[in-house]
Chains A and B, each alone.
Chain A
Amino acid sequence: MIVGGPGRAGAVTEKRPWTYYALATLFTVYMAFLYGPMVVIYVLSFQGENGGVTFPMVGTSVTWFQQILQPGQMANIPVSFSRSVSLAAVVSALTVVFSVAAGLGFRRKFPGSGVVFYLAVASLVMPSLLVGFGIGLGFQFLGLEPGLFTSALGAQLTWTLPFGLFAMFAVVNRFNRSWEEAAKDLGASAFQRLRYVTLPILLPGILGVAMGAFTLSYDEYARTTLTIGSKNTLPLEIYALISSATSPTLFAIGTLTTGGSFLVIGLTLVLVMRMQRRRTLASMKAG
């Protein structure tokens, strides 16, 4: 375990305990387990034109990547992708605004806070398909047409809002209220405190909520399937592809997604590091 945690002078030179090696081995095995099948699909996405979804490889090609771009009979990947991304963007924005507000609201005790808390827990643990089923049924009873930005958006919010709220609890818990109080003592108005103190300090956590909500929405399948109406999002198109004809196109989508994720994460890391550097520089100037 830890004999002197990080940040303690001299800790770096300390001898590693045996548990370090045991856990490092376990972590390596877990990584192999996590990426093993992923690597297989990356390789198979370059399957030859006559190859199938399993080994052996019959030559190599980029046919399956080209297939993604062509709207096929079974599925239209580019259109469903743009639907998924726009839905995920809206879900992410709403989740950030509402869950940050609620996270701040929960810092005081107020009548009814328990009810809202357990409502969020219940919404989080409700089997996904049932949420979609309930909303779909409701729309049917009200005679409304299900749609991307009505029922599907609503169904996804029942999952991302509790997630955002719980993430905000973790973020807000680490926030030291004396900073706000210092700002108040210096005469900052409520808006100024929020704009110049609270939000900048919470920003990394808020970015985390935004990214998390985007991912949850982009991948969401079970809540969306009964609430989407006729225009499919990407996961639903993928599902349709699986049940019709399996081809390495699926794997090509997986490879592209992973490439895209690496890109987004890389850009975010650069952004965060630049932000930190600017902050350090500013504090040096101030000091």
Chain B
Amino acid sequence: MSTTASMGSLKVPTAGQRFSLPRLRLPLWAISWLQVGPIAFILTVLFAAPTLLFLVVSFFDYDRTGIYPAFILDNYKDLICSPSTLRVYISSLKFAIIVWGITLFLGLSVAHFLVFHIRNGMVRTVLFLACAIPFWTSGIIRTIAWIPFLGRNGAFNQMLMGMGVTSKPLDFLLFSDFAVIVTYVHLFTLLMIGPIANSLSKIDRALIEAAIDAGASRLQIMVNVIIPLSKTGIALGSLLVFTQVMGDYFVVKSMSGGQSASVVSMLSTEITAMQYPPASANAMVLVVFVAIMVAFMMRVVDVRKELVK
């Protein structure tokens, strides 16, 4: 790739002289910056600057009537000393890890099935769309949809009793950690399927045939060929699922029946109460926490090297 690119760039002046009027020729890096500039500008103004802003506000003082510029560490001290902080972080992390494990397994299996086992391109497209269609319905409605499904008189309990599996309705199904996990998996598995399927479809089939010819078992092909070659997709999917769960507050609020809280639901309570400095401190801690997790994942798989070629 790099050799063809450099050959291409060598030809530019000749082509330009022959076919266009003499005019200002920008160096290639400047053209790239013109193309990338808008995104860089928007993300700097709308993402980086606001993040810096709540870093600053997290040191401010506040009372019931307003917030006051200051440099105090009380917001962080209160946050770290509060026993609920640790509890909420552990709870969010627990959900994130469980949901990550389930969606990874499901995402890898579904993507593998669609990419390698479905031989007809049209059937594959239709099945992919079948996975994606529920995604078009609002996440809020898809969350609420579990209530009549899992409830005491819900469809699932009726079905179990109809089949004679249980004699009375199961209560733990709704408004529990179980319900929260089920909803997360329902909402986020597609985020895993997409990137993994993209990686899988780029694998050269000849490599797998070579492995078969060399006498590899199915398991060996999976572990030594397919998984290493799809690690970019796995990493991207994991990144998305993990951060979506860590950033959620609606599902936890509506599906746990008030038994669990998430970091962001704690934060949203503070924002509603207009307690911006402690909310900012809380946000900063969450950002640092997520950043560490993401940096760790990026160390395991160099996503940038794989994506930008």
Interface residues of A (CB under 8 A from B): 1-8, 11-12, 16-17, 19-20, 23-24, 26-27, 30-31, 33-38, 40-41, 44, 53-56, 97-99, 101-102, 104-108, 110-131, 133-135, 137-138, 141, 154-155, 157-158, 161-162, 165-166, 169-170, 173-174, 177-178, 180-181, 184-185, 187, 189, 215, 218-219, 221-222, 226, 234-235, 238-239, 242, 246, 250-251, 253-254, 257-258, 260-262, 265, 269
Known contacts being A119-B47, A131-B50, A158-B46, is A105 close to B142, with CB within 8 Å?
Answer: no
Question: Given the known A-B contacts A19-B218, A37-B142, A261-B136, are A121 and B35 also in contact in the complex, defined by CB atoms under 8 Å?
Answer: no
Q: Does B82 contact A (CB under 8 A)?
A: no
Q: How far is the CA of A262 from the CA of B208 in the complex (A)?
A: 36
Q: Which of B43, B119, B154 contacts A11 (CB 8 A)?
A: B119
**Chain B residues within 8 Å of chain A by Cβ, number:** 114
Closest to B42 in A: A157
Q: Do residues B106 and A30 form an inter-chain contact, with CB atoms below 8 A? A: yes
Q: CB-defined interface of B152-171 with A at 8 Å, one 1/0 digit per residue?
A: 01111010000000000000
Among A35, A101, A162, max chain B CB count under 10 A is at A101
CB contacts (< 8 Å) of A221 on chain B: these are 138-140, 250
Whether the Cβ atoms of B116 and A1 lie closer than 8 Å is yes
B138 touches A234 (CB 8 A): yes
Please name 28 pairs of A and B residues whose Cβ atoms are closer than 8 Å in the assembled complex, sorted by A. A1-B116, A7-B205, A8-B205, A23-B109, A41-B144, A55-B155, A97-B38, A99-B39, A104-B35, A110-B29, A116-B43, A119-B48, A121-B298, A129-B268, A130-B54, A130-B264, A135-B46, A135-B50, A137-B53, A161-B43, A162-B43, A173-B202, A177-B1, A178-B4, A184-B8, A222-B264, A242-B144, A269-B125
If the complex has contacts A34-B131, A127-B290, are A119 and B40 also in contact, measured as CB distance less than 8 A? yes
Stretch at the interface among B13-21, B73-81, B83-91: B13-21
> Are A154 and B246 interface neighbours, CB within 8 A?
no
B29 adjacent to A108 (CB under 8 Å): yes
Q: Which residue of A lies closest to B270 (CB)?
A: A133
The residues of B with any CB-CB pair to A shorter than 8 Å are 1, 4-5, 7-9, 11, 15, 18-20, 28-29, 31-36, 38-40, 42-51, 53-54, 57, 106, 109-110, 112-114, 116-117, 119, 121, 125, 127, 129-131, 133-142, 144-149, 151, 153-156, 158, 185-186, 189, 198, 202, 205, 208-209, 212, 218, 221-222, 226, 236, 239-240, 243, 246-247, 249-250, 254, 263-264, 267-268, 271, 276, 279-280, 283, 286-287, 290-291, 294, 298, 303-304, 307-309
Interface contact A138-B36, CB-CB below 8 Å: no
The answer to whether B42 touches A26, judged by C-beta atoms less than 8 angstroms apart, is no
Separation of A119 and B48 alpha carbons in the complex (Å): 8
Verify A219–B32 contact, CB threshold 8 A.
no
Cα–Cα, bound, A26→B276 (Å): 47
Is A177 within 8 A of B4, CB to CB? yes
Q: How far is the CA of A7 from the CA of B263 in the complex (A)?
A: 49
- CB contact under 8 A between A137 and B146, given known A54-B153, A154-B46, A235-B140: no
Rounded to whole angstroms, the CA-CA distance of A38 and B145 in the bound complex is 7
Do B147 and A54 have beta carbons less than 8 Å apart? yes
User: A33 contacts B186, CB within 8 Å?
Assistant: yes
**Which residue of chain A has its CB nearest to the CB of B135?**
A215
Measured between beta carbons, the chain A residues less than 8 angstroms from B131 are 34
Q: How close is B195's CB to chain A, nearest CB, in angstroms?
A: 8
Q: Are A173 and B133 in contact (CB under 8 A)?
A: no
Residues of A within 8 A of B291 (CB): 122
A181: chain B residues within 8 A (beta carbon) = 4, 7-8, 11
Q: Are A257 and B209 in contact (CB under 8 A)?
A: no
Q: Are B147 and A53 in contact (CB under 8 A)?
A: yes
Which residues of A have CB within 8 Å of B222? 1
> Are A258 and B137 within 8 A (Cβ)?
yes
Closest 7 CB pairs of A and B: A134-B50, A105-B35, A127-B247, A5-B205, A261-B136, A110-B32, A37-B145
| Distance between B220 CB and nearest chain A CB, rounded to angstroms | 10
A34-B134, A56-B153, A129-B271 known, 4 other contacts, Cβ within 8 Å = A24-B117, A30-B189, A133-B279, A253-B141
Q: Which listed residue (A8, A119, A133, A239) contacts B44, Cβ 8 A?
A: A119
